[in-house]
Amino acid sequence: MRSFTYQRAHSPEEAAAAVERVQGAKFIAGGTNLLDLMKLQIETPAHLVDVNDLGLDKIEPTPEGGLRIGALVRNTDLAADARVRRDYGVLTRALVAGASPQLRNQATTAGNLLQRTRCPYFYDTNMPCNKRRPGSGCSAQGGFTRHHAIVGTSEACIATHPSDMAVAMRVLDAKVETLRSSGARRTIPIADFHRLPGNTPHVENALESGELITAVTLPVPPGGRHFYRKVRDRASYAFALVSVAAIVQPDGSGHVALGGVAHRPWRMEAAESEMRQGAKSVAAVLLAEARTTQHNAFKVPLVERTLASVFAEAKG
């Protein structure tokens, strides 16, 4: 690990200003992804600002009838919250499908959104990677790509976003609240938060330097039946090959988003108007632009079948 200096911040304003002031500074919360990457020298922050004492660890009702989830609410606590279990079941289901219990006890809501890809070529510092070293090339293309993206990819990058929670946040139309080092606050719809790789796969989200996530808000409970179906190589503690987050209303309408197939949670509102036509129609819209490799072409039928399984359960 490269050396760094460390400070514990006591207010969001202090934290945002500290990261903006020191070049190469980063926030640290749960640390489960950042420290792993620091050990491999993929992340080499010169200064760490510990945000665990900012008091952003509460889940509160919003005036509109939704929930405001503090950035530091641990994944376990978010999954276990009675209001989340009752009204936003897709979120609890997605959270408990991710990582291990120990990691969920450490990992935070904001940190989960900011996870970096698990592409093995991103992790292997001996290999070119446009995300790790912009302009160096993409080793995944032409490599082993079973876990890689099939939609929204670019010549520069075919990595996936690893989060389960983010897929549920996307289907729930969550919003990300932030504080900039200037003191200005803004709200970013989750649809605009994660970026597609394009020519700049190292730029993964809409945050600016020193911008701190303070909360994630959920709108009024959407009703309907909630599903998070994750297909992976073992029964537990593995990243998704494909996942489906779905909210299905009694009349068969609803919302769906996919995980494991793109650089961000994959949702297309146009696909949702096909929900009453069935999984084949929905998958056809979601994956119309799919570009697969010989290793990950299986994800196309797997998406359709996983959607079919969820829709069948929703009817039953």
Partner 1 sequence: MTEFDPARRRLLKAGAAAGAVVATSALAEAKAPAGGDTAAQAQHAAPPSVDVLLQVNGSEHRILVDPRITLLDALRERLRLTGPKKGCDQGQCGACTVIVDGRRILSCLTLAVMQEGRRITTIEGLGTPASLHPMQSAFIRYDGFQCGFCTPGQICSAVAMLEEVKAGIPSHVTADLTVGPKPTDVELRERMSGNICRCGAYSNIQEAIAEAAGVRQ
Cβ contact 278:308 at 8 Å: yes
Q: What are the structure tokens assigned to 65, written together? A: 């009838």
CB under 8 A: which stretch of 48-56, 132-140, 198-206, 216-224 binds partner 1? 48-56
* Per-residue mark of binding to partner 1, 217-246 (x: CB under 8 A): ------------------xxx---------
The reply on whether position 36 binds partner 1 by CB under 8 A is: yes
Q: In what order do the strands lie in the sheet with 185-189?
A: 59-61, 67-70, 212-218, 175-179, 185-189
Q: What are the structure tokens assigned to 227, written together? A: 């599903």
* Shortest distance, position 16 Cβ to partner 1, whole Å: 19
DSSP β-bridge partners for residue 256: 246
* Shortest distance, position 194 Cβ to partner 1, whole Å: 23
H/E run at residue 281: helix 279-286
Among residues 13, 26, 76, 191, the one that binds partner 1 under rule CB under 8 A: 76
Least Cα distance to 115 among 43, 11, 59, 187 occurs for: 43
Smaller CB separation from partner 1, 105 or 200: 105
Start-to-end C-alpha separation, the chain: 52
The reply on whether position 206 binds partner 1 by CB under 8 A is: no
CB under 8 A: which stretch of 12-20, 99-107, 152-160, 259-267 binds partner 1? 99-107
Q: What are the structure tokens assigned to 198, written together? A: 């394009």
The reply on whether position 2 binds partner 1 by CB under 8 A is: yes
Q: CA neighbours within 13 Å on the CB side: how many for 5?
A: 7
Q: Round to whole Å and give the CA distance between 215 and 92.
A: 17
CB under 8 A: which stretch of 47-55, 114-122, 254-262, 306-314 binds partner 1? 47-55
The reply on whether position 44 binds partner 1 by CB under 8 A is: yes
Tell me which residues in 101-140 interact with partner 1 (CB under 8 A): 101-103, 105-106
Q: How far is CA 112 from CA 73, 133, 164, 240, in A?
A: 11, 23, 9, 15
Residues that bind partner 1 (CB under 8 A): 1-6, 23-24, 28, 30-32, 35-36, 39, 44, 46, 48, 50, 52, 76, 79-80, 85-86, 89, 92-93, 96-97, 99-103, 105-106, 235-237
